[in-house]
Amino acid sequence: MISFAASISRPNFMRKVYLDSAATTQMRPEVIEKMTEVMQLSYGNPSSTHAYGRSAKSYIENARKTVAKYLNVTASEIVFTSGGTEADNLALNSAVRDLGVKRIITSKIEHHAVLYTVNQLQQCYDIEVEYVNLKDCGSIDLDHLVTLMQSSDEKTLVSLMHVNNEVGNILDLQKVGELCHQNGALFHSDTVQSIGHYEIDLQNTPVDFTAVSAHKFHGPKGVGFAYVRKNSGLKPLIFGGEQERGYRAGTESVHNIVGLAEALQISYDNLATEKPYTEGLKTYFMEQLEKEIPGVKFNGGCSNLVDSTYTLVNVCLPVSNDKAAMLLFQLDLNGIACSKGSACQSGSDKGSHVLNAILSEEDLNKPSVRFSFSSFNTKEELDYVVGVLKQFTEN
C-alpha cells in the first residue's frame, strides 16, 4: 500500500511561492536602498549635537513628518517603537499605570501582544478584564460591548484590533470609537494589519492609541510606532534617555525608522493600484478553491470583502484530521509558504486561539491554513497553490 505522503507528487524544488504576508512582507527594493543610504551616510547618534548627529536626527524627524502626513495626525503624536508589540504594550501598560484605567474590555481573538499584556496587567494591578461576545464569523457584538461599558463606573479602556491577523475581520473603527467615547471609555486599537493597507485618517477617527509595525507593509522588522493622541497623558514604558521626547528611551534605529516611513509612503502612494490588484488575487484564489475543492470553507468573515481584509484568506480544507498534520509539511515541501493560524504561534502546539474561539467543533477537526497576499504575488502562483491543495485533498 502506498503511504499518503508518498502518494503526493514529487515536490518541485525550483518553485517558491510566498503567501505569508500577514506574518511579514517582502521588503521593497526602494526601502532597502533608502535604508542603505542612511546607514552609509548618516551613522551619527541622533542625540549628538554635531553635524553627524544632526543629520541622523533630521532623517528621523522627516520620517515622523511623513508618517504624520499620511495618517493626518501631528508629528508629535507618533512615537517610534521596536514594533507593534511594544506599541501595544506602551498604550495598555500606561493606561492602567498612569491614566487610572481599572477595567479593560477586549476580545478573545486579539493578538497575543494585547491578550498576554492584558493578562499581565490583571495579575500586577488587579484590574477587571471583560471579553466582549463574538457574533457568527467572529465579528464583535457591539450591543454587548455597549452593555459591558455601561455595566460599571470604573474607568475603562477598550482594546479591539482593526483587522484580525488570522481571519481578516475588519472592525468599524469609527463606530466603535464613537461608542467608546459616548460611554466614557478610552479606545486602543491594534492597527498592525491595517495601516499601510487601508487609508486611515487618525485625526478624525475617535481612537486614542494605535499600534503599527513596518514589516507588515514591506518595511523592515524591529520598528513600528504608537499613535498617541495629543494630551492623552500617556507616560513611557522604557526609561533612560530623552529620545522620542521622553516617551521611549534608547538610541533610535535611524535606518529602520527611515525604512518604515519610506515603506509607508510607497504603500499609500501605490494603494490605488495595489489594493485592487491584491483584492483581485484574493477573489481569484477563493473562486479557484471553490471550483477545484468541493467542500472548502473560508473561516471568519473572509468571504465578505467589505468586512474582511483583502490581504488574507483563512481556508478550512475538507480533509480528515489524520491528514491535517501533513498539510503544512506538504505545502512547505512544494515551496509554498503560508501559515497555520498566526505565524507568531509557530512552533507551539496549542492551535490558534482565534479559530478555537470562532469555529465549530467539526471545523476545528479539519486543517485550516492562512494564505496572505501582497502585490508581489501573481495569479499564476495561486494556480500552482490551488493545484497542490487539490492534489492533497484528493489523495
**Binding interface with ligand PLP (CB under 6 A):** 83-85, 111, 113, 161, 165, 190, 192-193, 213, 224, 344
Nearer residue to ligand PLP within complex by CB, 168 or 367? 168
Least distance between ligand PLP and beta carbon 47 (Å): 24
Least distance between ligand PLP and beta carbon 145 (Å): 19
Provide the greatest CA pair distance for the chain.
Answer: 75
SS3 134: strand
Nearer residue to ligand PLP within complex by CB, 115 or 359? 115
Whether the Cβ atoms of residue 60 and residue 46 lie closer than 8 Å to each other: yes
Cell of 113: 501582544
Catalytic annotation on 344?
yes
Least distance between ligand PLP and beta carbon 197 (Å): 12
In the sheet with 312-316, reading across from the earlier edge strand, the strands are: 297-298, 312-316, 368-372
User: What value does the CA radius of gyration of the chain take, rounded to a whole number of Å?
Assistant: 22
Nearer residue to ligand PLP within complex by CB, 236 or 341? 341
Q: Where are the beta strands (DSSP E) in 251-318?
A: 297-298, 312-316
Least distance between ligand PLP and beta carbon 67 (Å): 15
Nearer residue to ligand PLP within complex by CB, 223 or 359? 223
Least distance between ligand PLP and beta carbon 364 (Å): 21
DSSP string spanning 183-215? TT-EEEEE-TTTBTTB---GGGS--SEEEEEGG
Looking at residue 287, its amino acid is E
Nearer residue to ligand PLP within complex by CB, 130 or 190? 190
Looking at residue 26, its amino acid is Q
Please list, residue by residue across 209-248, b when 16 or more beta carbons sit within 10 angstroms of its beta carbon and e when fewer do.
Answer: bbbbbbbbbbbbbebbbbbbbeebebebbbeeeebbeebb
Catalytic residues: 344
